[in-house]
Amino acid sequence: MNEDLTTYLGGFIVDSSDFEIIIKEFASQAQFMVISHREENIVNADRIYGVSMQQSGITDIFSVNLQEEAKRILELEDIVPEVEEN
């Protein structure tokens, strides 16, 4: 099994699609913190957290609620055509 496509979960090796299914199945019973750079894991998250260093020695921590951000973007798309028409 290709290590790039596997995740170690409690001593078991599962592929990325199985991992996603397991997380979704237990999400109503528990909270999960998954540390990942995989797009598949990020897009399925409710919230993402990030850490960046804009200036040397100054760390910025941020979070994004993906459902709220999607709503905000959809609202902006509704507004933009109105602005363009005027």
- Global pTM reads 0.54
User: pLDDT tens digit string along 31-65?
Assistant: 888 888 888 778 878 889 988 888 888 999 999 99
User: pLDDT tens digit string along 60-79?
Assistant: 999 999 889 888 888 887 77
SS (H, E, C) 10-56: CCEEEEHHHHHHHHHHHCCCCCCCCCCCCHHHHHCCCEEEEEEEEEC
DSSP letter at 8 equals E
